[in-house]
Amino acid sequence: MKAGHNSLSGLNSWLRMFRTGLVLLRYDALLPKETAHLLPPVPRAFAGLLRSMFARKTNLRPGERYAIALQQLGPAFIKLGQVLSTRGDIFGQQFIIDLAHLKDNLPPFPQSVAEASVVESLGKPVDAIFSHFGDVLGSASIAQAHEAVLLDGRKVAVKILRPDIETVIASDIDMMVLAASMVVFFFPSTRRLEPVAFVDTVAQSLLLELDLRLEASACDEIGKIINTEPWMSAPKVVWHQVSRRVLVTEWAQGTPLSRPEALTLPGLAHKELADNLIRAFLSQALDHGAFHADLHEGNLFVSAPAQITAIDFGIIGRLRPKERRYLAEMLWGFLRRDYKRVAEVHFEAGYVPRHHNVDSFAQALRAVGEPVLGQKATEVSMGRLLTQLFEITAQFDMHLRPELVLLQKTMVSVEGVARRIYPEHDLWEAARPVVKDWISRELSPVVQTRRIVEKLISRLRTDDDEYNAPANREAVELAALKMVAAQGRTFGLIALVVSVISLAVIIWLAVR
């Protein structure tokens, strides 16, 4: 039975992939005519043949064609369109305008179906929970939201999963896994981009979105992080009205950033708003290791002068402490134009294979960083920058890191949204205070010394007889001093001396 099921699933994946190709060809969104001139002669001729056989004759713009195709293909492809729609600097402003409705303006399912889902999921009639249950506010790829008022008078948003969305997502995932495997088989050079691992990461995030209890938990966890910072806010969960298919949260204040009028609000401070968005994301990722990983315009509300409220916590990214340190050190290195240190961090993290030369990689990073740092966004070609980065990653055999997929995807989206808010936005300057504070707090000599001392004291107290012996104590203190010296060199001689003296005093007091 299981083998038959797997065979059927495999057949469905092949059929779905075939249908996907036909839909993209039908709307000239697979090998579009606008990019045909970039192809070599033979592929260009082949693309032209396919276009003449399958593409509809239309005067639609590329963005309009992509929007129709991605909407027909379902949630996974709509997510892709949402990411693309943040990058007007790469694809052009008209392109992102044409894709804009993918953010929260998809065809809704009927009100009666929504109310029936509430009754089934929460186990009570709608009027036993809400004094008012309104029409659809926004309809996205996986769920739609309704405005409502609880019996206690609180205004809330009610999120409801689309009917049969689980089956649709499962089919999307099976098809993406098949497509990734085919890409690796037919194009071995793509293995360093880890297509299968990439799809696995995307699949995991999509599956988590299908249980709104998990989103409620993420909203509560990340919301507490966000609401303690000055950059962004998040609505609270109404916990006693949460189920697998229904989620109720308090009302998010502001105007959805996806609406055209959002950036024309009176008193809006565009630069500060863009800075707050970047700093909120980096603060979540660096300071807490957990971040909202779906920060497109449809999930952001704004109000004057520079308030941002985030909703929809279905996708959460997480970074372990070592990954947070690598990220912070790389960003800080770029901000200081210390390309050698940035290169060293890549090697320490294992992002670049050891057989390559650190200095050569630093040279390549300098070629990327210097044209960008200190420049206004309007003066930087993101298309050219991404091409250069891709060439460098290929030259140095850098593989895609599955644990960083959501981070990289969110960074692309967030920077694109910030550029739309304030076209001259400088990502690096916006990042500076958050990264600088993290470096000062986590990598200062005092902090490093305290960690060493805590480890040593723990060892001393574990076995007093062994470590209180004078010879052993002297050896431990000497080793500790050497560690402190190694950690403190880059921070200056004065800080080093203070750290060493503090260490000696604390250890002496601990073992008296």
3-state secondary structure at position 301: strand
Furthest CA-CA distance within the chain: 88
Half-sphere exposure of 204 (CA within 13 A, CB side): 13
Residue 217 belongs to some domain of the structure = no
Handedness of CA 219, 221, 224, 228 (dihedral sign): negative
Give the pLDDT score at 368: 81
Beta-carbon count within 10 A of 348 CB: 13
211 is annotated as an active-site residue:
no
Residues 270 and 379 in one domain: yes
Residues 386 and 490 in one domain: no
Residues 467 and 395 in one domain: no
3-state secondary structure at position 315: coil
Give the pLDDT score at 296: 84
The model scores a pTM over 0.85: no
Kindly give, in sequence order, each residue whose CB lies less than 8 Å from that of residue 191, ignoring residues fewer than 6 positions away. Answer: 184
Q: How many domains does the chain have?
A: 4
Extract the tokens encoding 20.
């996907």
Residue 296 belongs to some domain of the structure = yes
Report the distance separating Cα 175 and Cα 50, nearest Å: 22
Among 171, 198, 201, 170, which residue's Cα sits nearest to residue 184?
198
Give the pLDDT score at 462: 58
Strand partners, 302: 255, 308
Give the pLDDT score at 5: 45
Give the pLDDT score at 26: 87
Give the pLDDT score at 41: 81
Report the distance separating Cα 491 and Cα 495, nearest Å: 7
Residue 468 belongs to some domain of the structure = yes
The last residue of a domain, from among 70, 102, 134: 102
Label the pairing between strands 246-250 and 237-242: antiparallel
Kindly give, in sequence order, each residue whose CB lies less than 8 Å from that of residue 434, ignoring residues fewer than 6 positions away. Answer: 279, 282, 283, 286, 287
Residues 271 and 388 in one domain: yes
Q: Read off the DSSP letter of residue 105.
A: B
Half-sphere exposure of 283 (CA within 13 A, CB side): 22
What is the residue type of 213?
A: R
CB contact burial 226-265 (16+ within 10 A = b; e otherwise): beebebbbbbebbeebbbebbbbbeebebbbbbbeebbee
Strand partners, 369: none
Give the pLDDT score at 378: 65
Residues 27 and 169 in one domain: no
CB-based contact 67:81 (threshold 8 Å): yes
Half-sphere exposure of 470 (CA within 13 A, CB side): 0
Segment (H or E) for 384: helix 382-395
Strand partners, 301: 256, 309
Residues 174 and 82 in one domain: no
**Which residue shows structure tokens 């009917």?**
163
Among 122, 373, 139, 126, which residue's Cα sits nearest to residue 241?
122
Beta-carbon count within 10 A of 454 CB: 11
- Backbone phi, psi, residue 140, to 5°: -110, -170
Extract the tokens encoding 204.
């995991």
CB-based contact 189:93 (threshold 8 Å): no
Low-confidence residues in the chain, pLDDT < 70? 1-10, 38, 83-93, 100-105, 189-190, 192-193, 374-390, 400, 402-403, 444-512
Residues 417 and 459 in one domain: no
Strand partners, 149: 132, 155
Strand partners, 248: 158
Among 440, 472, 488, 444, which residue's Cα sits nearest to residue 507?
472
Report the distance separating Cα 334 and Cα 466, nearest Å: 46
Residue 486 belongs to some domain of the structure = yes
Give the pLDDT score at 3: 44
Give the pLDDT score at 222: 93
Residue 244 belongs to some domain of the structure = no
The last residue of a domain, from among 102, 120, 140: 102
3-state secondary structure at position 110: coil
Residues 190 and 61 in one domain: no
SS (H, E, C) 28-96: CCCCCHHHHHHCCHHHHHHHHHHHHHHCCCCCCCHHHHHHHHHHHHCHHHHHHHHHHCCCHHHHCHHHH
Strand partners, 309: 233, 301
**Which residue shows structure tokens 């071995």?**
188
Residues 181 and 329 in one domain: no
Residue 339 belongs to some domain of the structure = yes
The last residue of a domain, from among 176, 208, 240: 208
**Which residue shows structure tokens 């240190």?**
341
Task: Give the angle 364-319-297 at the CA atoms, nearest 5°.
Answer: 85
Residues 272 and 374 in one domain: yes
Which domain covers residue 363, as residue numbers? 257-440
CB-based contact 99:66 (threshold 8 Å): yes
Residue 133 belongs to some domain of the structure = no
Among 89, 172, 174, 294, the one annotated catalytic? 294
Strand partners, 150: 130
Residue 169 belongs to some domain of the structure = yes
- Backbone phi, psi, residue 39, to 5°: -85, 150
Residues 425 and 453 in one domain: no
Residues 500 and 435 in one domain: no
Give the pLDDT score at 9: 61
